[in-house]
Chain A
Amino acid sequence: MPRKNFALSAVAILLSIVVFLVPFAFILLTAMKTRQEASLLDFSWPTQFRFVQNFIDVVQARDYMLIIAFINSTILTVASVTLMVVFGAMVAFTLQRKRSRWNGLINGFVLAGLIIPPAVVPTIWVLQKAGLFRTLPGLILVEIAFGLAFVILLFRAFIGTIPRELDEAAVIDGAGPARLFFRVILPLLKPVIVTSIVVQSVAVFNDFTNPLYFLPGDQNATVQLTLYNFSSQYNTQYNLLFMNILLITIPPLIMFLFFNRQIVAGMTSGAVKG
């Protein structure tokens, strides 16, 4: 074992503080300042701490818009990720197990879903025809449609490692397709289910573009859009803007602290195999 390189470590840690920690410290410090002090935009210790006051101001702004946005984002994230994972797992299971001449085509669609940028205005047109434009269910369906491909890829790789004998045994015991999948297979997929839930929740929660296009309007804002509204409304109120950034960073931070391993597994899957 080569010994630890102290000089290199010191340089790396120092650089990591300057490059990665200072921006987060800046968010935290500015979120605690008074309006006048925050508007100086400098990196300094606050002379007066207004953390609680800023928090209350941000939450109360525009008729508790942030609370409504957090509720909307929670519904959006929970509903779309749940359905995305169930539907994606069903496709991945069938695609992996059932040999059919359509498999090539389906795999093609999955790759297309990863690569092709969604056509925005035509999607709005479809949503409008279905009466789903500017509605939360509409946006949920859109998030499912755009997120399915990644989930299917994650699941397909994992299902390949589950022996087919298990399916056969379940069938002998009289299980139909639904029972086989939901009672036998799905419980075995727990690791990849956790991974895809965590990764996709962060993605949907942080999504800005789709709510911007498909769910406009203040009363159904999602958290990323409140940030945007705040920044234009409080053009000079940097303390509140950064308090808002701080608040919407907390859910991903919690995810990161609890599910670091699963996130890493999800994001790197396929990297080794290419």
Chain B
Amino acid sequence: MATTTVHRSARTRSDASAAGRVRAHSPYTNWFYLPAAVIYGVLFLVPTVIAFYFSLTRWSIFDSKFIGFDNYKTFFQEPALVSSLWHTLVYAVLTSGLKVVLGLGLAMLLTSQIIGRGYLRSVVFFPVLVSTIGVGLTFTVLMNPERGLINQSLDLVGISGPGWLTDPSLALISVGLVDVWKGVGLATLIYIAGIVSIPQEYFEAARVDGAGAWDNFRHIVLPLARPATVTVIILSLIGGLRSFDLIWAMTKGGPGFTSDVIASVIYKQYQAGFYGLSTAGNVVLFLVVTAIILPLSRFLNRKEVEL
């Protein structure tokens, strides 16, 4: 009580003083933006903007020559490069979709009355914190077609497992599954936060009305956990579209170019010294990400308000 009075009187005093003096003593200064603005501007904004110019050049690190849209022509005519665009979309949609479904399922399980809940939450979440390259190399060994643990186990029950990373039609999906293994803990965590914030009264009212578990899920959890769903979809789509290290650790885009995504093309062209082409890939990735994420987040957030 006493503190409130002090604060209030302090405020009256400052209000009473001349407006000009208060302005001069404003405790907030634009100088606080400066360090962050310089670093962010020079190392993030400037490269993002000049990327548009350099993507129109034939570029080595010493000089660049303007060649118009040739890099983009190459990118969209070379089957190996243009296929990376589709792989990126498939990978992002697959991992994002699985994370939503599995994350919601796991979160329902881990908020229910179940033994070992703390242990289960920890064990599901821990892979999120482990090195992506470490996870990638481990699963490359586990997915070895003849000697890997996965196919050895499948053999025991009489199934002959596929060449997870050697089959061209399967490699991208296999990497995506490992991505889900590593990332589903984060989706689960976000869903758990969403579910526990739903007021218990809803469930009690539903019980009085004789609602079953499915009704609870369909009519209470699903609509009210919607902000969590939006977060999971947006986060995992952004991550999936930009994904590089897991794919690089497991397949390097192979076999052939069947698991190449835009981010791995950017690295390969950079390594090969085609800086202009690499930067064009970067611009394509920029456009793909913004063209998907911006309208989607606007759409998802608007629906949320109507609800």
Interface residues of A (CB under 8 A from B): 1-6, 8-9, 12-13, 16, 19-23, 26-27, 30, 40-43, 83, 87-88, 90-91, 93-94, 97-98, 106, 109, 113-128, 130, 141-142, 144-146, 148, 152, 165, 167-172, 175-177, 180-181, 202, 206, 208-209, 212-213, 223-224, 227-228, 231, 238, 241-242, 245, 248-249, 252-253, 255-256, 260, 263-264, 267-268, 270-274
Contacts and interface: CB of A to CB of B under 8 A. Distances in A.
B266 A91 contact: no
Given A20-B124, A41-B144, A172-B13, A12 B109 contact: yes
Nearest to A39: B147
Contact of A260 (B122, B124, B248, B301): B122
Interface string B1-14: 00000110011011
B164 to A, nearest CB: 13
Contacts of B228: 271-272
A103 B238 CA distance: 24
Given A126-B47, A245-B134, A41 B147 contact: yes
Contacts of B197: 272
A7 B11 CA distance: 62
Contacts of A90: 32-33, 35-36
B227 A271 contact: yes
B42 A224 contact: no
Contact of A121 (B124, B128, B270, B293): B270
B58 interface: no
B296 to A, nearest CB: 11
Given A23-B138, A208-B133, A264-B189, A177 B54 contact: no
Contacts of B289: 115-117
A272 B46 CA distance: 34
Contact of B138 (A148, A165, A245): A245
Given A5-B112, A20-B124, A117-B286, A176 B27 contact: yes
Contacts of A122: 46-48, 50-51, 54, 279, 282
Contacts of A114: 238
21 contacts: A3-B113, A12-B116, A30-B141, A41-B149, A43-B152, A90-B36, A118-B44, A118-B48, A121-B278, A122-B47, A122-B48, A148-B40, A169-B10, A175-B27, A177-B28, A206-B130, A249-B131, A252-B130, A256-B126, A268-B193, A272-B228
Given A20-B123, A168-B11, A41 B141 contact: yes
A126 B43 contact: yes
B115 interface: yes
Contact of A5 (B31, B114, B149): B114
Contacts of B130: 206, 249, 252
B42 A208 contact: no
